[in-house]
Amino acid sequence: MRQGRLLWFLALVLAVPTVVALLWWASGPARRAQSAYQHALDSTLVSPRRALRASRRFADPAVVGLVRAIYRHRHGRALWLKPSGVQHRIAALRKATELLRAHGIDPEPYGLPAALDLVDGRSEPNELLKRPSKLAALEVRLTAGLAASGRDLLWGRLPPGALDDDWRQGRDSLPLAGPLERAASRGAIVRQLDAWTPHHPEYQALRKELALLRATKRAGGWTKIGAGPELRLGMRGARVALLRKRLAESGDLGEAQNAAEPDPGSFDRSLASALKRAQLRHGLEPSGRLEHASRAALDRPIADRIRQLELNLERWRWLPRTRGEPRIEVNLPDFTFAMWDSGRAVLRMRVVIGSKTHPTPIFSDSITYIEMNPTWRLPKRILVEEVIPEIEKDTTYLSLNHMRILFTKKRKPVEVPVAGVDWSAVEADSFPYLVVQDAGADNPLGRIKFMCPNEYDVYLHDTPSQGQFHAGARDRSHGCVRLERPLDLAERLLQEHPSGSRDSIEAILAAGLWRRLRLKKHVPLDVLYWTAWVDSAGALQFRDDVYGLDRRLDAALRSGRTRGFEINPEVLWGEKKLAADAAEER
């Protein structure tokens, strides 16, 4: 019995090397395939340009660096693909492309859908063994697609240099490669990407509206009213029925209100009220009549509105994830001002912003002090385009408008007569004169201005032209922001100042003397460009693209040509404008 067991044991011992040798021999092709694949992957990572030429987004050296960093975290090992087949992480990557779409980012420019289609088409394992270089290139393309889209979901698709300095703080210290690699390894890509999206309630509300608009588009979109005469209360007809249907589709006309009128072609009071709601949501005068502007807004294709939401989601990604309070925000397309504190708007007012030829820039800074009874130092552009032509017609123009010319090359500026100035050199940096308008009733800055030192020399101020605030479109200034109720703002900002009471402020203004009051705590100011947002009542708001910035951003993102993009494009004037016009004519 023992002898038999011993013989079986000896046979087993002698068989083990043979079995191991057979297994080693059998695994030879797989080992060679893995070795060839790893060598191809290493070579691709050394020079990835050819593998990544499929997308313009991959031309960014930062994306290439991020891809290499991800593989360094993996000690060079593949993340998605192996010679024997597709790894399970691919399913999570497919879900990530759906997340990108949900946040208004098309995954196509990152090459993800095309690369995933190639993955789906490779069903023969033997074919994989023959193409290690192509397999490695596809592996790197998948990683680059994740890296580039993840970075863009976090920070937006514009290069950092295009954004305001205050928005970029802290970016360089935030690691990306490690979190992406760990998330991909664990199949948790969607969770990681979602954590990188803005979590501001306004962003999340806008994203939900994007999903609703897309669903409406899939269901056939909105009813088109079409051109025709103005529609108003008491009218009947087919276009009234179309208007009723359109307002019901957008939720402006409730089901109960719609059902209360048995004749859909009748323009009743409930329809007029619904139209007023729609007009307010589009920044139009709530007249309750369907005139040209209202009809054009309602007939705007739903695809355009979807894109409008996508562009505004992109702008949210540019901003810091935390925004301090109290905080002031000016929304240029809405011509409005809001001061936020403790999560609510404590002060709202209308504003007048720069005209299309003198646009107010988008930027962030802080209000640091207030000037009472300010003087106005005229910018060179206004001198060239407006003041000098008036001086040429009437040499008393400056004195009639309480303006003085100061020679600045002395230790203390000296007032000089208009006849002694060579205005032909006004555009030169060496021009030694300033034109200053004294404080007074006709000073365009009014009686008070709020200073936020910035590169654009733009600030908030009072105005003697109060009638401008009654207009619908209020793009009429030279670039600064004119406030409807500046004293209300001053009172809020100066609450901790000895001269901050309303009576004290009005006494200083009544005295007519210039005075500067510094704020004990600087208040952040954001001058932003929202053409779509969800208000505090949950209504989706749309505004016109007053400066054409939606159009410019859309063109840049669709083409992928974001390098060199400027949020605030230069506006040419004077000799530069003449030279540009001449070059265009040639």
Residues tagged active-site: 461, 480
**Cα separations (Å) of 535 from 203, 239, 530?**
11, 30, 12
CA distance 330 to 460: 10
Per the listing, tokens 């106005």 go with 376
Element containing residue 352 per DSSP (H, E): strand 344-354
Say if residue 533 is exposed, middle or buried (CB neighbours under 10 Å; 0-12, 13-18, 19+).
buried
Residue 563 in 3-state DSSP?
coil
- Amino acid letter at 250? S
The three-point CA angle 361-364-369 to 5° equals 105
CB distance 93 to 80 below 8 Å: yes
492 vs 509: CA distance, rounded Å: 17
Contact between 454 and 364 (Cβ < 8 Å):
no
| CA atoms of 256 and 278, how far apart (whole Å) | 17
Q: Of 223, 312, 298, 304, whose CA–CA distance to 264 is shortest?
A: 223
In residues, how long is the chain? Answer: 586
Q: What is the DSSP string of 517-549?
A: EEEEEEEEEEEE--SEEE-TTS-EEE---TTSH
Structure letter (DSSP) for residue 57 = G
Rounded to whole angstroms, the Cα distance separating 334 from 353 reads 10
3-state secondary structure of 471: coil
Q: Determine the Cα–Cα distance for residues 51 and 134; give it in Å rounded to an integer.
A: 8
